[in-house]
Amino acid sequence: MITLLDYGAGNVRSVINAIESLGARVKIVSDIDDISSATKLVFPGVGNFGSMMRILNHKNYVDPLKDYLRSGRPFFGICLGLHALFEYSEEAPGKKGLGLISGYAKKFDIDLSVPHIGWNGINIKKPSRIFTGLRGDEKFYFVHSFYVIPEDDSVVLTTTDYGLEFVSGIQKENITATQFHPEKSGDAGIKVLKSFIESVDKEETPVHVSGKTRLSKRIIACLDVRSDDQGNLVVTKGDQYDVRENGDVRNLGKPVELAKRYYEEGADEITFLNITGFRDFPLEDIPMMEVLRLTSENVFVPLTIGGGIKDYTDKKGGKYSALEVAAAYFRSGADKISIGSDAVLIAEDYLKTGRKTGKSSIERISEVYGAQAVVISIDPRRVYVSSPEVVRHRVIKTDTKGPYGEAYCWYQCTIKGGRESRDLDAVTLAQVCEKLGAGEILLNCIDKDGTNSGYDIELINAVKNAVTIPVIASSGAGCVEHFLEVFTKTQAESALAAGIFHRKEVPITTVKDFLKDKVETRLA
């Protein structure tokens, strides 16, 4: 029996699913006695250090947890479950951690995008039971803005390089904790959890001990999901956002089955976009929650869900906040949520007043679940202009001239799946959302969507150069060369595609094989 400490922030569903996939049973802590009587404890931390410690204190879990940790019984901490072991974190000044390990968690201060999101390797510093069955050159999924600095080097189990070499795993007697998420790290992560669950007693050093690790560029499969005219939930795909063909909604498969296929083919992440979310109330969309729940049962890479994340008033006048909608998605198995239409409206308000309200969906979800859990999905359309002075938007000089030979363009934001254009440009939107606490940008392009003509490199550079958070390039992938192009001509951290994967024109494995030795990727 594995006891799991869930303090109610973020997706613990995946950790439960990963443990259960190994045949173990999971008991979720519901009171102090569950901690005291545990024989093996897993603590997956998600979100914000301050709110984690506030909840642990509020529930009176701090002392029983310290007693458990001092008792020598096996403990596995994940992400914030690693930070919790330390004295404090820069993420929440003045808040005390458990203090079992001397040191603290520090914010990345580097020239690279923060959060550090994606698949990176580990430098192994000492033998451990959790390395059983690993080669040592596997990649694991990280998502964090802070890293721990222990005072005593002897606890360091692994380090990882990202702008600097940081501690990505610690081991002190029976206490093991990792910065990466084993439950989101495919087969390699499942092996780590297996060794912990099965109490492997031999400590191993894998054959491959890396000198320096590298963050991979991510390949993301995107599934646009909606009901067809018969009411079945299907994966669809638009051409420049038009998902109908001869009057019917294009049906490219079933969401759960396709997600599983992409996981097996080596997708580094999977994104579901509930494309009618802007008009339907997601909390009533039980099938979409079910898709997430079923997918997270056997897909052990990060899952993002977008569509309809905003405040709602239902037909009976009941009010629901965007935070509640997001919480329901997280509970169903999502690791990140993506906000589209609402982000545009929030940014417009912010630009009018120049003030943060602390109440927008971006701010609230980011505060509770952490910036890394908040993706902004931008749906821009190219607008040509004859010179930069004619609009007050962020204009770029373009190599692809407009219909009247225009040499300049800007990217106009849209809402409601491209149906409504707004007086805001994509670069400004991305910058405002970063200020408000977003952790990543999913950058679509309506002109390129479904065209197979390649990514809009100019758009991606304009946005990427304006923000410090990671950018996912999206729309237009038609062949393997397009992935190489986007990774060599822009600094985007990820490339997303939909149509070519759904139609099996270019499998994910082919993309990765092609990129091998040219671009750092995770080979599944």
Among 145, 159, 295, 338, binds ligand 1PR (CB under 6 A): 338
Residue 15 binds ligand 1PR (CB under 6 A): no
Out of 379, 456, 458, 493, which one is annotated catalytic? 379
Distance between CA 147 and CA 149 in Å, rounded?
A: 7
Residue 303, Cα to own-chain centre: how many angstroms? 7
* Tokens matching residue 100: 């079992």
- DSSP3 helix / strand / coil % (the chain, rounded to 5): 30, 25, 40
SS3 158: strand
Among 7, 88, 241, 272, binds ligand 1PR (CB under 6 A): 241
The verdict on whether 58 is a catalytic residue reads: no
Q: Which of 63, 66, 64, 79 is closest to 12 using CA atoms?
A: 79
Site for ligand 1PR, residues 437 to 476, rule: CB under 6 A? 444, 449-450, 474-476
Residue 379 binds ligand 1PR (CB under 6 A): yes
Residue 273 binds ligand 1PR (CB under 6 A): yes
Ranked by CB distance to ligand 1PR, the top (closest) residue is 417
The verdict on whether 224 is a catalytic residue reads: yes
Strands 408-415 and 420-425: antiparallel
Omega of the bond prior to 115 within 30 degrees of 0, cis? yes
Residue 128 binds ligand 1PR (CB under 6 A): no
Nearer to ligand 1PR, 108 or 312 (CB): 312
Among 129, 237, 336, 382, binds ligand 1PR (CB under 6 A): 237
Residue 282 binds ligand 1PR (CB under 6 A): no
Place of tokens 């919480």: 327
Out of 91, 138, 161, 224, which one is annotated catalytic? 224
Distance between CA 407 and CA 385 in Å, rounded?
A: 7
Which residue stretch of 149-157, 360-368, 429-437, 493-501 sits at the interface with ligand 1PR (rule: CB under 6 A)?
493-501
Q: Which of 83, 71, 68 is closest to 170 using CA atoms?
A: 83
Residue 287 beta carbon to ligand 1PR: minimum distance, rounded to whole angstroms = 16
Among 82, 275, 426, 429, binds ligand 1PR (CB under 6 A): 275
Q: Contact at 8 Å (CB) between 214 and 113?
A: no
The verdict on whether 83 is a catalytic residue reads: no
133: left (phi over 0), alpha (psi -120 to 50) or beta: left
The verdict on whether 242 is a catalytic residue reads: no
Longest dimension (CA), the chain: 75
Give me the residues that bind ligand 1PR (CB under 6 A), please.
222, 224, 237-238, 241, 243, 273, 275, 277-278, 306-309, 338-342, 377, 379, 417, 444, 449-450, 474-477, 496-499
Active site residues: 79, 181, 183, 224, 379
